[in-house]
Structure formats: C-alpha cells, structure tokens
Amino acid sequence: MKKYFQLGDVFYYFIRVFRKRDINSPDSVNLRMMHGINRISIVMFLICVIIMIIRALTR
C-alpha cells in the first residue's frame, strides 16, 4: 500500500516541467508548445485545487 501513496514522482515532474530548458536538447516547435500547454494546465489545476480547499474550509 505504501508504494501507491508515494508522491515523489509527481513532485519531481512538477519541478522538471518548470526547469529551464537544456540548450543541448533537441528543439522543435511542437515540443515547446506541448511543454507550454503542460505548464498552463498544471498552474490552472493547482489554482483550482487551492480555490476548492478555500471554499471547503469557509463553508
């Protein structure tokens, strides 16, 4: 059960997505767009979770 509740990989993904891009990595417009959309969706998700927690605590 302990293995299913480990969140280390999830937090590592958040850190990896928002890190500065490596200059030596292959570059394409599609890849940059995909990472940009991922960043936007992660930020929107975190904002929504915070709003839901605040609304649950104030009721």
Given this model, what pLDDT does residue 57 score? Answer: 95
Q: pTM of the predicted model, to two decimals?
A: 0.61
Per-residue model confidence as pLDDT tens digits over 8-58: 777 777 777 777 766 676 677 887 788 889 889 988 998 999 999 999 999
Cα 9 → chain centroid: 11
Contacting residues for 18 by C-beta, under 8 A, at least 6 apart: 39
Q: For tokens 């990595």, name the residue.
A: 25
- Return the number of other C-beta atoms located less than 10 Å from residue 58's C-beta: 6
